[in-house]
């Protein structure tokens, strides 16, 4: 339990950051889910559009410290590979 004023303030700040990060993570997952759903329908144009919308969200997650840059790059690579495969 936080006893000093400094520790109490840090606990408040941590909770506030947790809420912001949680919302941001949820937003990223929503964009990724939209890409997955578009891939599942087999519509290459819709999947490409959803992927194009998801990319900035993923990269924003990297700059904000939600995701590691390699994790975001890996997700983008795998999704784009799957979207590209829909055409064939």
Report pLDDT for 13: 97
- Quote the pLDDT of residue 31: 97
How confident is the model at residue 1, as a pLDDT?
75
Question: Which CATH code of 3.40.640.10, 1.20.120.1200, 1.20.58.110, 3.30.365.10 fits the domain covering 5-87?
Answer: 1.20.58.110
The pTM of the full predicted model, rounded to 2 decimals, is 0.86
Given a cut of 80, whether residue 88 has pLDDT beyond it is: no
Q: Could you tell me if residue 13 is left (phi over 0), alpha (psi between -120 and 50 degrees) or otherwise beta?
A: alpha
Instruction: Categorize the per-residue pLDDT at 2 as very low, low, confident or very high, splitting at 50, 70 and 90.
Output: confident
Q: What is the pLDDT of residue 17?
A: 96
pLDDT confidence band for 28 (50 / 70 / 90): very high
Q: Read off the DSSP letter of residue 1.
A: -
Reply yes or no on whether the pLDDT at 19 is more than 80.
Answer: yes
Q: What is the predicted pLDDT for the residue at 43?
A: 92
């Amino acid at each position: 339990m936080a006893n000093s004023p400094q520790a109490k303030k840090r606990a408040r700040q941590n909770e506030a950051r947790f809420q912001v990060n949680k919302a941001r993570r949820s937003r990223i997952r929503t964009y990724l889910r939209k890409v997955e759903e578009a891939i599942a329908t087999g519509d290459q144009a819709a999947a490409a559009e959803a992927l194009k919308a998801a990319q900035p969200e993923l990269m924003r997650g990297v700059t904000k410290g939600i995701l590691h840059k390699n994790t975001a790059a890996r997700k983008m690579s795998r999704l784009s590979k799957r979207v590209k495969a829909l055409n064939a």
